[in-house]
Homo-oligomer: A and B are copies of this chain.
Amino acid sequence: MLGAAAKDSFADEAALGQALAELTARLGNKVVMSRPVREQHANVTTFLPNEPADAVVFADCIEDVQTTVRICAAHRVPVIAWGAGTSLEGHVNAPYGGVCIDLSGMNRILKINTDDLDCVIEPGVTRKRLNEELRDQGLFFPIDPGADASLGGMASTRASGTNAVRYGTMKDNVLALKVVMPNGELITTSRRARKSSAGYDLTRLFIGAEGTLGIIVEITLKLYGIPESIVAGVCSFPTITDACNTVIQTIQCGIPVARIELLDEVQVRASNAYAKLSLPETPHLFLEFHGTEAGAAEQAERFGELASENGGGPFTFAGKAEDRSKLWQARHDAYWSVLPMRPGAKAVATDVCVPISRLAECVEATKADIVEMGLVAPIVGHVGDGNFHTTLMVDVTDHADVAKAEIFMKRLVERALAMEGTCTGEHGVGEGKKKYLLAEHGAETLEAMRTLKRAFDPHNIMNPGKIVSL
């Protein structure tokens, strides 16, 4: 029934048992019900509780996914898609039970079209694996959320990361999808042509839908030639505001910076200790420029001039490839570097994004709040897009600590929304951000999202409890 998707509308125990029996009869030992496997497939990256599914299906092919969805649909059993388990907002939790479909075994690279700069892959391929396969052909896929996420998961959360300022997000880099719909039918959203105006943009409909409208089972991705020259380096600034002003001017001048990452002085201190860097303990930008030899050098030089005008610098090159790797490894290890700052606590990532003109103000106000509330929460950010994260250290066994963290996160989101920003730049909604969507979008827009969900998934079996509740 439309609009009635409380827990009661899902399969009761008998129907669930029937569904699991049918699944096992059809898929044999691809269906696993052991508790450790089920728990491992539920969310573990936040302080949200672990809510395991009733079974995990290890899918090998599109037919496995269709079989599972059809059986689950017939019995009103929830279906939760799982890629690599790196999501940060409880996307893979199963609050109403059901069946988790593990797509990590669907990890074939089906076709690389070097002339067209695209490839066709299964959703379980991870970004590192893809780039390893592409390297020999002089190609790469730029979207880099840090974690070695699956491309299906990255598409489903509209992921982005450090390279998005130049190469866009997942929404900009997917040409077409194959999707198993909530009734088990398979659709292809678009074709391999670089652009099309042939009807509704179904591709973008499923990107960022977090598996709530269907399950992505094949992806056609745009690729890029590995740049002839990559120049990376770091630049110190007296204040966050100086760094942010430099970012704004860099973007305004049209310098096509490939990465421009902010680390506040707290994060720099942590990274110095963890990654054996020896940076001055001030706000820093980590940068990368892609182009021809002359082009990348020119970009770096111009950036250096802007930094200097804003009281920053000098821009220090990471000349050798291994220095560059060390730099970005340190950036990606920000999460790990923070752990020793509060032993026993868990690192929880926040994720707001504001127009860049408001970035300095938003980051400075957030830092003031961190100090005032006595929190441990270094800041990193994909600042070319106005997107930043605090890595908030939380003792998840202590209710008062969790409550304090939630107050901080609520204030952070409200601050971003007041600046025309969003509650999530790239992590997605999942369970964690649902409560902010009304304030962000308003009731009418949220109702339009519900209309979409009801139309495609009238029984609300696809990842229920995520994005919008019916």
Contacts and interface: CB of A to CB of B under 8 A. Distances in A.
Interface of A: 113-118, 157-160, 164, 168-169, 171-172, 181, 185-202, 204-205, 207-209, 213, 224-225, 227-228, 248, 251-254, 256, 291-292, 294-295, 298, 302, 353-357, 385-387, 416-417, 420-429, 433, 436-437, 440-442, 444-446, 448-449, 451-456, 467-468
B448 A187 contact: yes
Contact of A355 (B118, B251, B416, B441): B118
Contact of A157 (B197, B224, B251): B197
Contacts of A455: 451-452, 454-455
A-B residue pairs, 8 tightest by C-beta: A455-B455, A204-B204, A115-B357, A196-B422, A192-B420, A193-B353, A116-B355, A225-B254
A454 B422 CA distance: 29
A222 B204 CA distance: 18
Nearest to A355: B116
Contact of A195 (B169, B209, B423, B442): B169
A253 B253 CA distance: 24
B199 A426 contact: no
A353 B171 CA distance: 20
A315 to B, nearest CB: 17
A154 to B, nearest CB: 11
Contacts of A198: 422-424, 429, 433, 436-437, 440-441
B252 A204 contact: no
A206 to B, nearest CB: 9
A429 B200 CA distance: 10
A447 B424 CA distance: 32
A426 B420 CA distance: 31
Contacts of A427: 197
Contacts of A357: 113, 115-116
B208 A201 contact: yes
Contacts of A353: 193-196
Given A116-B355, A116-B356, A429-B199, A193 B386 contact: yes
Contacts of A421: 191-193
A194 B209 CA distance: 18
A434 to B, nearest CB: 9
B113 A199 contact: no
B208 A205 contact: no
A385 B200 CA distance: 20
Contacts of A160: 195
Contacts of A356: 115-116, 194
Given A115-B357, A197-B426, A356-B194, A225 B252 contact: yes
Contacts of A451: 455-456
